[in-house]
Every structure is written in C-alpha cells, then in structure tokens.
Amino acid sequence: MNQDSANAKDERPRDAAIEWWLRQKPGTLSSAERAEFEAWLARSEANRAAFEDISEMCGHILEMRPVRRGRSSDHAKRLAWRLSTAALVTASLTLFIVFDDLSLFLRSDYSAGTGQTRRVTLEDGSHVELNAKSAISVRYAPGARRLILVDGEAWFEVAPDPTRPFVVEAVGGTVTALGTAFNVAVQKERAQVTVTQHRVSVVSGGKTAIVEAGQQSAYAKSAAALPAEPANVERATAWRSGRLMFENRPLGEVVEALGRYHRGHIYFADPALRSRRVTGVFGAEDPLSALDEIEISLGLHSARFSNYLIFIYE
C-alpha cells in the first residue's frame, strides 16, 4: 500500500481488512508497510475486529485445502498457492455479500439488496425509492414522521401533513421536508442532499442550511452543513432510471457506486489508481460492462477470479 492507504480510516473496515490480508499472503510486508498496517489496526477497534474476523475465517477455509504430495518448483508452488487462495477467498467473500444484504434487512424496515432498487409507499402516502444496497427504518409517531437512512441512498416524495414534520436522519444530521421531494445519499459517513421539488432544511453540526429545488448541500458526521449550491439534479438522481452518471469523479468513488450493483469485490493493485478521474454514463444493470469501459478508457487492466473477486492494475 502507498499513501492512499493512509486514508484507510475512511474505508469500510471489512474491505480494508481484506486488502491487508491479501497483501500479507504469501509474502511479507516491508517494514514501512508493516508500520502502516499496525497504525491502521490501532486506529479503531472496528479495524482490528474486522481483520481478526477475516483472518479467522480465511484461515479456517485454507486449513480445509487438500494437501498435495510430490515435488514441484518454487514457482509452481507459489502459483498454486495464489490460485487456490484466490478461489478460497472468493468463496469467503461470497458469504460476506450474502451477509451484507441480510444485515441491511435485519437493521431496517425496508431495504434493497445488491443490484436491486425498491419503491415503498409509507402509511401516510409518502413514497420512498431505495437505491441498491440501501435501507431505511421508519419511526412514525402522532406528532412526527421520522425515518433513518441506515445505509445507501434514497429519494423521498413527501405527502403533505403540517401537523407531523417529515424528518430523515442520516450520519448524525437531519433533513426536514418543507413540502418537497429530495434525494439523500450516504457515503463514508458523509451525506449529500439534493432537492428535486420545493425545499428542505438540513441541520448538522449546529448549522442549518435551507436547500431549494435544484440545489444541494452536504455534511460529514458531526460537521456543519454546507451552504446550498446549484446541483446537477439529473446526475444525482440518474440511478432512479437505471443509469449512473459521473463527471470527473475519482475512480475509487465510481467503483464504490458500481459495487452497489455488483455481487462481488473490486480491489486496486495500487491504491493510487483510485484517484484516476472518470467521466461517463453507464447502465446500472451491467456493472461489469461499465467496468470494462472504464478500464479501456483509462488504459487499465483487471484480473478476475470469477466475477466475485476482481483486481484492477495498470
């Protein structure tokens, strides 16, 4: 890993743990990489727990491999180890994919799994459209309508009811509808709010931003909401029509968006590749074809151990 890995605290602990585990097999880390790995472990209990879980699970799977008899060259041994490890890790990652969707289901009232979108009509007549790998919990009461965006992205079309404010909680902040329709997207403890009709009040970090139709605001956890600014509403809500639109966005962000529609994991051989910029419109129904287009346009390549485990390299 290089300097981009120093931002591992911003990655999902499980994904970073898998990347660290793969990098330690079958060779050893350099002293600089070892120090970086130890710093990542010490950064949070979530990181350490994720790595321990990955190590334990993959270790059990590797113990079940048949032992091959006979002599072979060192090169053949290394190649066999890599191929068998890739296959076994692929199998383990498949389990994580299943558990991801199950976890969303158990933590929410409504959810959409990998590669799915879902439209929900709430008891008051409001509508919610869930992007793939997204979930909400509903906390309606006589004096208020509160929802929690557990993970992912959702578009809300609010039924009028002056006696019960409609509030969406996400990443520690709130978005209150002021007779409106709006989109909320959560990514790495950051929320982006885009208004498609009327306006909303966004509150975070003790600050309030009023966002009108055609505008957006954003905030990080415990940070102040940013002032409203013009938004590309078509791009922000393209997922509702099965499209993913990017304009000069980092490849890492694009791959994460594609990951909502792909049952598998995509890793970078060199984390610096995450910063490559991508512009394009892709169909959400075929994320692997979108990835092929991006690889060609950026002059990159990929190694695929089935479609569940993909490594991108230059």
98 and 191, same domain (yes or no): no
The pTM assigned to this predicted structure is: 0.69
For the segment 113-145, what is each residue's pLDDT rounded down to a tens digit? 888 899 999 999 999 999 999 999 999 999 999
Residue 65 has pLDDT above 90, yes or no: no
Output the pLDDT for position 88: 52
Band (1; pLDDT cuts 50, 70, 90): very low
- Closest by alpha carbon to 179, among 148, 207, 158, 164? 158
119 and 227, same domain (yes or no): yes
Alpha helices in 132-267 (DSSP H): 233-236, 251-259
Residue 147's DSSP bridge partners are 138, 168
- For the chain, how many structural domains are there in total? 3
pLDDT, averaged across the chain:
82
> Domain with 119 in it: what CATH number?
2.60.120.1440
For the segment 263-302, what is each residue's pLDDT rounded down to a tens digit? 778 888 888 999 999 999 999 999 999 999 999 999 999 8
CB 170 within 8 A of CB 151: no
Output the pLDDT for position 103: 63
Residue 215's DSSP bridge partners are 230
Band (81; pLDDT cuts 50, 70, 90): very low
- Closest by alpha carbon to 114, among 130, 90, 125, 136? 130
Structural tokens at position 297: 């346009």
**Which of residues 106, 129, 144 is at a domain's end?**
106
157 and 229, same domain (yes or no): yes
> Domain with 281 in it: what CATH number?
3.55.50.30
| Residue 56 structural domain | 3-106
For the segment 214-266, what is each residue's pLDDT rounded down to a tens digit? 999 999 998 999 999 999 999 999 999 999 999 999 999 999 999 899 877 88
- Residue with the larger pLDDT of the pair 95 and 298: 298
Ranges 10-24, 50-64, 87-101, 122-136: which has the least confidence: 87-101
